[in-house]
Chain A
Amino acid sequence: QKEVEQDPGPLSVPEGAIVSLNCTYSNSAFQYFMWYRQYSRKGPELLMYTYSSGNKEDGRFTAQVDKSSKYISLFIRDSQPSDSATYLCAMSGGGSNYKLTFGKGTLLTVNP
């Protein structure tokens, strides 16, 4: 079983839609959970960060972590064409090297 599983998509939605992106993981030692956004030919950009279980909201973005189910989600409300990118979940914890373990990313296209 892979440490982090993420549906690669692609996911195509109309402008204004609510987008749900998800990852599952197997390592119960993970404590820090992140979502990165990566535009084509650019480096990953930190979008949301959550420690342990719970929800976090930032504008149109909401991150949820359910450690009991080993499941994390990112919701994008009122999606915009500028949200079109690859979304990567990442997690760390349980080790001394602060290594991020990434999902393979979900390619999202928001159509005007």
Chain B
Amino acid sequence: EAQVTQNPRYLITVTGKKLTVTCSQNMNHEYMSWYRQDPGLGLRQIYYSMNVEVTDKGDVPEGYKVSRKEKRNFPLILESPSPNQTSLYFCASMGLGTSETQYFGPGTRLLVL
């Protein structure tokens, strides 16, 4: 089954404790992206990657890092989480050269205390 998976699905942590949210896709998509969803603000792009070793900032990159060492994986790293990073995070992927349709993972709900 074609899908985007994320882990963990739920996470409670404390300020300053580094964490990583994993994202994996099995569709051989070149493009992957991270979004956060907040009430009243909608979905906003954090980082994106056009292919292995090619990443760039989206609209709200502050406090986040990403890496793309393999085509299928695109982890989101919070080196020193803060309460304003409490949010619902979505990973998405898309095949380049096809229709510009992105497929989303199930989401990771993060609470930073």
Partner-B contacts on A (CB < 8 A): 32, 34, 36, 41-46, 49, 51, 88, 90, 92-93, 97-100, 102-105
Closest to B94 in A: A98
B101 at the interface (CB under 8 A from A): yes
- List 13 A-B pairs, Cβ < 8 Å: A32-B100, A41-B107, A42-B106, A43-B104, A43-B105, A46-B102, A93-B100, A97-B45, A97-B56, A98-B31, A98-B33, A98-B100, A104-B41
Indicate if the CB atoms of A32 and B42 lie closer than 8 Å.
no
Tell me the count of chain B residues lying within 8 A, CB to CB, of chain A.
Answer: 27
If over half of B's interface residues share one DSSP class (helix, strand or loop), that class is named, otherwise mixed; here it is strand
Number of A-B contacts (CB under 8 A): 59
Closest to A103 in B: B42
A43-B104, A43-B107, A97-B48 as given contacts; A51 in contact with B43, CB under 8 Å: no
Indicate if the CB atoms of B107 and A100 lie closer than 8 Å.
no
Q: Report the minimal beta-carbon distance from B6 to chain A, rounded to whole angstroms.
A: 8
Indicate if the CB atoms of A44 and B104 lie closer than 8 Å.
yes
